[in-house]
Chains A and B, each alone.
Chain A
Amino acid sequence: MTPFTYHKPASVADALALLADRPGAMLLGGGTNLVDLMRKGVETPDHLVDVQDLPLGEISETDDGGLRIGALVSNTALAAHDRVRRDYRMLSEATLAGASQQLRNRATTGGNLLQRTRCYYFTEPGYPCNKREPGSGCPAKDGFNRIHAILGESDACIATHPSDMCVAMSALDAVVEITGPGGDRTVPFPDFHLLPGDTPNVETVLEPDEIITAVTLPPPSDLSRQSVYVKVRDRQSYAFALVSVAAGLALGADGQVEDVRLALGGVAHKPWRAFDAESLLRGGPASDDAFRQAGQAIVADATGYGHNDFKIPLAPRTVAVALGKALARAQRASGDAR
């Protein structure tokens, strides 16, 4: 690990000042990802700003009945929160599907948004990697790419975003609250993470001198209450998604799809919100056929790189599984209501 200076501010203002004064400083939350990367020599910050003392650890209700999740709320606290479990079920399920209990106890909400890809070639500095060293190349494309992207990837990078929690947040239309030297701003969750393009080293819209303070969830709905997260992986705990799907359905009186949310993990450089597939489904039948067609539409332009080819058939199947579960929950809920 490269030597660094360590700072532990008590206020957001102090943290921002530290960032402003020390270019190249990085924020330290739970440390579940950054410390590993520092030990591997992937990240070599000169300064660490430990934000764990900042007053951002609460989950509170917003004026419109939604939830505001402080950036330092742990994954464990988020997943276990009564209202998250009841009103935003996919978010609780997605968060619990991630990592291990020990990691979830440490990991923070803000840190989860900023975690780096688990691409083997990124996490070992001996390899070239356009994300780590722009212009050096991407060995994943003709290397071992079973865990890599099939959607939205670029010639420069085929890495995936590893988060489960973020997939649900994208599907739920969460909003990221950011503060910086220019004041506060908000970013719709689906716009927070970026596709790799020619600059895979730039992963989010967060500026180096900014801090995520919270993620807010819109008011709950039947859709969010009946939502579901399905994760397909190689082992049942402590494995990143090969494909995951966050799905929510609201049914009209006629049983047709009134509203739907759909996002995928494990397939792209960012949580992949499937807006087009949602449009296809909205107003149509809530049937397995329709679900599969929607899934197929998502992968219509997908590209496999060999080892990850299986994700192209797996993704639509997982979409159908998730929507099927969401449908069952919606039907159960409407049955209960009757």
Chain B
Amino acid sequence: MTTTQTTPIIGQATRRVTGPLKVSGQATYAAEFSKDFGPELAHGVLVTTMAASGRISSIDTEQAEAAPGVVKVFTHLNAPELPYEEPVMRPQVQPQVGDPLRPLQTDQIFFSGQTVAVVVAETLEQAEHAATLVRVTVDETAADTDLHAAHQRPEADEKQDTPRVSAPKKPAENGKMTGRPSDVTVGDPDAAFESAAHTVDLDVEIKTLVNHPIEPHATIAWWEGNTLTVHDKTQWVDNARHKLALAFGIRQEEIDLKVDALNTVKDAVEGVLGVQESSVRVITPFTGGGFGSGLRTWPHTFLTAMAARELDRPVRLVLTRAEMFTSVGHRPHNLQRVRLAADADGRLQSVIHEGWQETSLYEEYTMNLLNTTRMAYATPNLRTTYRLVPLNIQTPTSMRAPGECSGAHALEVAMDALAYEIGMDPLELRRRNNATHDVQGTPFSSKHLAEAYDLGAEKIGWADRPLAPRSMRDGDDWVGLGVSSTFYPANRMKASASARLLPDGTAQVHSAASDMGPGTYVSMTMVAADTLGLPLDKVKFALGDSDFPHAPVHGGSMTMASVGPAVKAACEAAIQAVIELAVDDDASPLAGASADDVRLEHGELIGPGGRETLMAAVARHGEPVEATASLGPNKLQALMPSDYAFHSYGCVFARVRVDARTGEPRVEKVVAVNDVGKVINPTTAASQTIGGVVMGIGMALMEEAILDPNFHRYANDTLAEYHALTNRDAPEIEAHFVGEPDYELNPLGARGVGEIATVGTSSAVVNAIYHATGARVLSLPATLDKLL
């Protein structure tokens, strides 16, 4: 007798299947795999530079090498030259212009905190001590980290060697303007602005934010012959595997394959070359947060693998919290100018949004800073201008809703200001400009923003809100209500999965996906169980192993929309394989039927002549039945030709209190309402939303990595001084969902939750602070000194 599931699983609130492992310490994160090793595991520690610009003139390792337990000190003088092959096509997570930082392959210093040596010792303590004994002398040159001054410089012409303000040199493909074009103009925005009844013109600043997952980045690497195995904190094991292979020049035939996109490399290799085992394997079953810091494969990962190869023993390297500020990217400091114009009825006539964003001197990091502006509201005239400003900083990286989060913040603060300029309710202004298509005229696939506005307004009590700022007082506090719309592109990329049905009545489903916290484990288990008609506990989903079928990057809010359909398709293929076995099996009640006439319902195969459970057929077969499936677009869905523009939509309402005497701002309540298509798991979707709101409040009120203006180094490089929200700062947060499945995007109808959850909160909070106090905070974070 096999167990079947007779009620739907998708859409039911379901707890994380990994929860018990996590709370009992049984979930093994990258650095914790040290438990698998004995004393052969050596420990690496980075040596970083204080200087922010120049060249290393000398590096004295004598004392460090003599220190107890030291195995080797690697510097640019003795490190092997690594191939670091260029991929056929760079993954989306890597800047398309410039070259990645290759520590120990150069004497050049681009920013303070750059790695210049790696000390490897028998124990962590010995390595840490020896690292303090390495003496680095830098022939310093003037560094520049002043975005305010630098962004006003003349733009670069192409012949200049020195870095200057410039448009991105290689904008991403932008058939639907979802890439990163430098300049987009529709209509005549300047003339419309000049002649409009109401205008606002705001300068907005968003300081550097750092991803800071609680799990620090860490790597354990070891070699067996030419085979490298790595445990690495990453959001994309497949890319880590690929980049490591390129770095060490192994499997040349594999990486030279002319394939049209990275995501098909593995399928192609394994299909065309018949390669059974990889010469690089990356295994990361658990990722303790990331928010984008784990998209790329960073220098410390290559350095750890290099040390392991040179020393012929496993090496472990864990970044310190201070190193987390300057080793794995950050949300870049940016300046924005937003001009909005509306007619007397509050209908937008012109939108002009300009952005200047820092990048490093060696790579052009681009993000979707102004994309939201090109789809958020209906306007006949629009211009967006995006400029990069190279400074002496590390290359920034994606941090939860990269670009959208910063750009939408400025737009939504400006919308609030425009409402007050007109004398109109800020929510009504948004309703009046609710768009049905993006600025290029492509219709949205499925949009229920108006319902989100209604529900959110009801939940926060918007109807009782007086329009005038500084009109709600409770004791010593000014009280205010603010609103923001929120948008995030719905993406999807090709993904693969395998499903293996076992004679014991259970199923194993695999994909090289990641779970940095959203609950990939549980949601994919749900999709598989739902498709197979099995109870959840009969399905075991595994991820985070580059030997599993390929998955796209665990970012861009597209894991559910990409891997989910692949899991579903793999399960369906396995079901089909079982059906074909059953109809050929005389012992089956389905024997002799045409496979096309058999269907699965609640875990039961039903044919014209009889029925049996799926797993009973597998049990009788006596061998596992396995199938794989791969589906989805080869490039980001947003870059594919389509009749629709795919986005998610929502709104955030915030109620704040500001102490009238000390200026202290506190968020009292947040209501977030999102239309994300089909919600697969209400529990984890709400959890993601709450987490996104918490992050957004941190961005609004306290998060900021502060660059010292003279030393060009982050001054507050600890979690004690870089303030992320604590539980005491987190208010009551309600997460609601509206909308319906978006089957135009994928067969599950799901659009992803992770990033839209964090867009909009910072602007709702700052708008609420304006309503409370009358103070319009234009430079984040809105700390109390700006409200005194």
A residues in contact (CB < 8 Å) with B: 1-3, 39, 41, 100, 118, 120-121, 123-124, 126-127, 139, 142-144, 146-147, 232-240, 242, 310, 313-314, 317-318, 320-321
Contact = CB atoms under 8 A, between A and B. Distances in A.
B276 interface: no
B784 A139 contact: no
Contacts of B666: 236
Q: 8 shortest A-B CB distances, which residue pairs?
A: A310-B785, A126-B50, A120-B715, A236-B728, A237-B728, A237-B726, A232-B662, A144-B715
| Residue from B125, B715, B728 having most chain A Cβ neighbours under 10 A | B715
A68 B535 CA distance: 63
Contacts of A146: 785
Given A142-B710, A232-B662, 18 more contacts: A1-B128, A39-B128, A118-B721, A120-B708, A120-B721, A142-B709, A143-B708, A144-B706, A144-B709, A147-B721, A233-B664, A234-B702, A235-B701, A310-B784, A310-B788, A314-B784, A314-B785, A317-B662
A14 B721 CA distance: 38
A143 B726 CA distance: 27
A105 B476 CA distance: 33
A320 B661 contact: yes
Interface in B711-729: 711, 713, 715-718, 720-721, 723, 725-729
13 contacts: A1-B129, A123-B718, A139-B710, A147-B721, A232-B662, A235-B723, A236-B666, A236-B726, A238-B726, A313-B788, A314-B663, A314-B784, A321-B662
Nearest to A3: B129
B721 A237 contact: no
Contacts of A238: 720, 726
Given A237-B727, A238-B726, A320-B661, A143 B785 contact: no
B783 interface: yes
A2 B68 CA distance: 11
B7 interface: no
B717 A124 contact: yes
A159 B458 CA distance: 49
A121 B666 CA distance: 29
B132 interface: yes
A123 B722 CA distance: 14
A112 B715 CA distance: 24
A293 B129 CA distance: 53
Contacts of B711: 126-127, 139, 143
Contacts of A142: 709-710
Contacts of A147: 721
Q: Which of A126, A146, A232, A234 has the most CB of B within 10 A?
A: A234
A290 B725 CA distance: 36
A100 B663 CA distance: 23
A234 B784 contact: yes
Nearest to A232: B662
Contacts of B784: 232, 234, 242, 310, 314
B721 A1 contact: no
Contacts of B785: 146, 242, 310, 314
Contact of B715 (A1, A100, A143, A321): A143
A314 to B, nearest CB: 6
Nearest to B724: A235
Nearest to B662: A232
A236 B720 CA distance: 13
Chain A interface main SS type? loop
A127 B711 CA distance: 8
B590 to A, nearest CB: 61
A239 B68 CA distance: 38
Contacts of A237: 726-729
Contact of B783 (A124, A143, A234): A234
Contacts of B322: 124
Contacts of B128: 1, 39
**Max chain A C-beta neighbours (<10 A), residue from B68, B708, B716:** B708
Contact of A239 (B129, B476, B662, B723): B723
Contacts of B788: 310, 313-314, 317
A321 B132 CA distance: 47
Nearest to A99: B720
Nearest to A238: B726
Nearest to A39: B128
Contacts of B709: 142-144
Contacts of B720: 118, 238, 240
A320 B666 CA distance: 20
Contact of A2 (B132, B715, B717, B728): B132
B662 A121 contact: no
A240 B716 CA distance: 13
Interface string B685-716: 00000000000000001100010111101011
A1 B125 contact: yes
Given A1-B128, A126-B50, A235 B702 contact: yes
Nearest to B718: A123
Contact of B729 (A124, A236, A240, A320): A236
A289 to B, nearest CB: 14
Contact of A126 (B713, B716, B723): B713
A121 to B, nearest CB: 7
Residue with the highest number of chain B CB atoms closer than 10 Å, among A2, A41, A120, A121:
A120
Given A39-B128, A126-B713, A144-B706, A235 B725 contact: yes
A242 B723 CA distance: 13
A67 to B, nearest CB: 29
A46 to B, nearest CB: 13
B721 A235 contact: no
A236 B723 CA distance: 10
Contacts of B132: 2, 41
Interface in B309-358: 322
Contacts of B721: 118, 120, 147
Nearest to A143: B708
A280 B394 CA distance: 54
A320 B716 CA distance: 30
B5 to A, nearest CB: 43
A238 B784 CA distance: 17
B472 to A, nearest CB: 20
B299 to A, nearest CB: 20
B726 A321 contact: no
B26 to A, nearest CB: 22
Nearest to B126: A3
Interface string B663-681: 1101000000000000000
A39 B661 CA distance: 40
Nearest to B49: A126
B476 to A, nearest CB: 8
Contacts of A3: 68, 129
A317 B664 CA distance: 12
A310 B783 CA distance: 11
A236 B710 CA distance: 31
Contacts of A242: 784-785
Nearest to B781: A234
Nearest to A242: B784
Contacts of A232: 662, 664, 784
A234 B702 CA distance: 6
Contact of A235 (B129, B476, B713, B729): B729
A37 B492 CA distance: 47
Interface in B90-130: 125, 128-129
Contacts of A100: 726
Interface string B652-668: 00000000011110100
Given A232-B662, A321-B661, A321-B662, A139 B708 contact: yes
A321 B659 CA distance: 11
A2 B130 CA distance: 9
